[in-house]
Amino acid sequence: MTTLRWIIMMTLMLRIGESMRLDLESGITKCISDDIKINYMTVGNYSVVNPNEALHLPASHKIYVTVTSPKGHSQHHAENVESGKFVFTAMESGDYTTCFVAPGFRPPAKFAVDFEWKSGVEAKDWATIAKRGQINMLEVEVRKLLDVTESIHDEMFELREREREMQELNRSTNSRMAALSLLSFVFTLSVACLQLWHLKSFLERKKLL
């Protein structure tokens, strides 16, 4: 597999919305992180799974939800809820973290939370875009492909930037190692000369030379 094909596949995988089910227990916190690029929109939907749909959720099946940016800024906060949604545009690149907290309860309760997290192309509401723009689904698919292509281009550009940074770091490290090696050689040579001088002085004092 070529590097370009690998990059394209990885980018497409990252852009597909992630849907998952989390198992929680009273007093337990679970967090999930996603690497989101700056100016990318992200959408998250969560809901506590009702073990018996014929009845209301018990009081123990409540959660606290927080979403924080890479620098610790709050993007979403909800307390004592059964379900919710967050939508925001990333103001910085990096790992955004969503934490689900099951408050303490006696006796402890176990339950599940369905969570779907989309970002980038998949986070857009294409159906609404189609209605507003009065365009058919074929045009919507074309726009999706254009957005995916742009995302791939951004990913490749970022990979090149990271590669350049790594190369600069390697050059800097090699230069420091070379300087350290030279300093070690000079120090070792100086110690050797000092030892020879000391040995010569000792032998002269003993009149062995």
Q: Which residue has the higher pLDDT, 7 or 141?
A: 141
For the beta carbon of residue 75, count every other beta carbon within 10 angstroms: 19
159-183 residues labelled b (16+ CB within 10 A) or e (exposed): eeeeeeeeeeeeeeeeeeeeeeeee
pLDDT, tens digit, 9 for 90 and up, residues 60-77: 889 999 999 999 999 999
CA 7 to each of CA 12, 146, 163, 198: distance values in angstroms, whole numbers, following the listed order: 9, 17, 14, 64
Residue type, 59: A
pLDDT, tens digit, 9 for 90 and up, residues 26-62: 888 999 998 888 888 899 999 999 888 778 888 888 9
* Yes or no: domain 19-135 corresponds to CATH 2.60.120.380: yes
Closest CA to 100 of 40, 42, 44: 44
Is 5 in a helix, a strand, or coil?
helix
Considering the entire predicted model, what is its pTM?
A: 0.60
